[in-house]
Structure formats: structure tokens, C-alpha cells
Amino acid sequence: MSLLRSLRSLRLCLVARAGSCPVGPLLLQSPQPWHTFHAGPWLSSSASSKELLMKLRRRTGYSFVNCKKALETCGGDLKQAESWLHKQAQKEGWSKAARLHGRKTKEGLIGLLQEGNTTVLVEVNCETDFVSRNLKFQQLVQQVALGTLLHCQSLKDQLSTYSKGFLNSSELSELPAGREREGCLRDQLALAIGKLGENMILKRAAWVKVPAGFYVGSYVHGAMHSPSLHNLVLGKYGALVICETSEQKANLEDLGRRLGQHVVGMAPLSVGSLDDEPGGEAETKMLSQPYLLDPSITLGQYVQPQGVSVVDFVRFECGEGKEAAEAE
């Protein structure tokens, strides 16, 4: 019953916001500096030393104490100091991760990233909503989405129809961190845990690649755009809807968004068929469900005149499933 009440509440919110922008942006909290080390008296008060210290602080976001210690350890070499800081932070992150293992991770964010014919959906969990609003955590979600996108793009397959795949927590953790970062996503997770001090998990990812004649509609509920990657969208619910269309239509983006809203709000379990009998609120076949934005018709009746066929979908809800309630 609580699940039905939750879905009804979500549907009312979606209907109320139909045709408008998604829920306003999540508030960003300034990342807190990470304090671990004690600095010695190596750095002089010269202008050049102060400039190095300020530059390292801007590049890494770590405290002045830690940056001073890094420059002291590395003899004033900026590049080595930056690398030393990241390595020390990663060690601290693994230490914290071991201490925090087992703490529940019910909060977090869904990340949606689209580039060319590839779309990915990822989920990263943390302990509190407060941390999910922190820029450092959102940057971690961004790195996971980019890592998943690069993995999908590296798969050299000849597409005659759409392809869809999923990655579990272990598979996701082993992906490379990206073009400009060393190590894998597991290492980035350790850095984030060290900086933010909460248990976190890279829960899952889904990816979809489509050839010509297909379109991926998408929607994120409670959405905000990443400040540093304009086509990444973050929120609490996400949906991808794969459609087949014989011609490129001007309204595909809006249609895809509405279909995504329906998947988020109605939580179907399968696509079904246009020949299926119309169902009620408890119907689980997508095309037979009452259309979220006009319950007097089914979704199938809404889609049919649009000249597209719904063939598949993916739905992520942040924190859903038993495994999200406990650390992996």
C-alpha cells in the first residue's frame, strides 16, 4: 500500500508539472576541505611559494594545510604535489570506506547522459540527501556516467536494431575512470568517500545504443543539469523509452519526454501490445495503462497516432530494491 501511495503522489506531481520544466534544481553545497595531514615549516613566505600554494589549492580543492604539506613533501613540484595529494586522499578514502562498510545507503542520485546514438542511466547511492546535494558527490555521478558512456561507445557492434545492456555494482566499479583520470571508478569512489565521510556505492548502470530509425526518449524527475557537463542531468527518478520511427519528426524530443514521464509515474513492468485490453491503475503493461497525462485514454491510444512504436524502456528509481538499503 505504501508503494501505491508513493506512486500516486509521484503521478500527481508529474501531471501538475506536465508541459513545464522539471522540479527546480537541487541546492549545491560547497565541498568541505579534507583535513588529514599536519604541515611542517618547509614553505617560505615568498610570493612564489604563496602562488604555488594558491594554485594547488584551486586545482585540488584540498585545505591549505594539506596543500602545504604536499608541496613540502614534493620539494615544491606542483605536479608531483597534486599527484601526492590524490594518492593520500585515496588511501584515506579506502580507510574510511572500510570503517563505514555496512551503513545504509538509501539516498543518492540518478544520472542521465546522452551523446550521439548512445544514452546511459546510472545510479550512485549515499547515506543522506544532504551529501547527494554536494557538488563533490554530483561530480562522482558525472564520472560514473562518463565511464559508462565510454564503455558503451567502445563496444564495436554493427547495429541493425537497438542494443541495451546493464552493469551491476562490481562491473561498474572496474570501469576506467575516464580520458583524463587515472585508475578506475572504484578509485574515484574512494576519493569521494574520503572527502565526504559517508558510505557510498556505485549501484548500477544501463546503456542503450540505437541505429537510424530508432529514437531514445528520456526523462529525469527532480532534474538539474550538471554545472560542468551540459548534457548530464541529475535527479531522483530516470527513464529511457526506446521508440522505432519511420521518419524523423520535429516533436520527437517532447514525445520522448512525455513517454519518460509516464514510465516514471506509472512504473510499468513490460511494454505489452496495442492489441491488449485497456487496464486500470494496477495494470503493468505500458501500452495498456491509462496515459499518465490523460487517463481517459491508454498510452497505446496516445502513441498510435504519433507515428512511433514503443519497443522497450528502462526505469531507475533512486534507492529502490533491498540492495540499496545496505552497503555492498
List pLDDT tens digits, range 94-143. Answer: 556 566 566 788 899 999 999 999 999 999 999 999 999 999 999 999 99
First to last CA, the chain: 28
Hey, which residues does 207 pair with through a beta bridge? 120, 165
Same fold, 60-100 and 107-317: no
* pTM of the predicted model as reported, rounded to 2 decimal places: 0.75
In the prediction, which pLDDT does 23 show?
Answer: 40
In the prediction, which pLDDT does 94 show?
Answer: 57
Cell numbers describing residue 285 = 503493461
Nearest Cα neighbor of 302 from 11, 10, 310 is 310
- How far is Cα 115 from Cα 205, in angstroms, rounded to an integer? 16
List pLDDT tens digits, range 282-317. Answer: 999 999 999 999 999 999 999 999 989 999 999 999
The values of phi and psi at residue 41, to 5°, are -90, 30
- Residues 272/287, Cβ–Cβ less than 8 Å: yes
CA of 297: how far to CAs of 113, 219, 286, in Å? 31, 21, 12
Half-sphere exposure of 61 (CA within 13 A, CB side): 14
Look up the CATH architecture of domain 60-100: Orthogonal Bundle (1.10)
In the prediction, which pLDDT does 59 show?
Answer: 76
In the prediction, which pLDDT does 256 show?
Answer: 94
- How far is Cα 23 from Cα 108, in angstroms, rounded to an integer? 16
Neighbouring CB atoms inside 10 A of 280's CB total: 9
CA dihedral 94, 96, 102, 103 (to 10 degrees): -140
- Residues 262/289, Cβ–Cβ less than 8 Å: yes
Domain ranges for the chain: 60-100, 107-317
Query: Span 174-197, mean pLDDT?
Result: 83
Please give the CATH superfamily to which domain 107-317 belongs.
Elongation factor Ts, dimerisation domain (3.30.479.20)
Nearest Cα neighbor of 222 from 235, 209, 208, 203 is 235
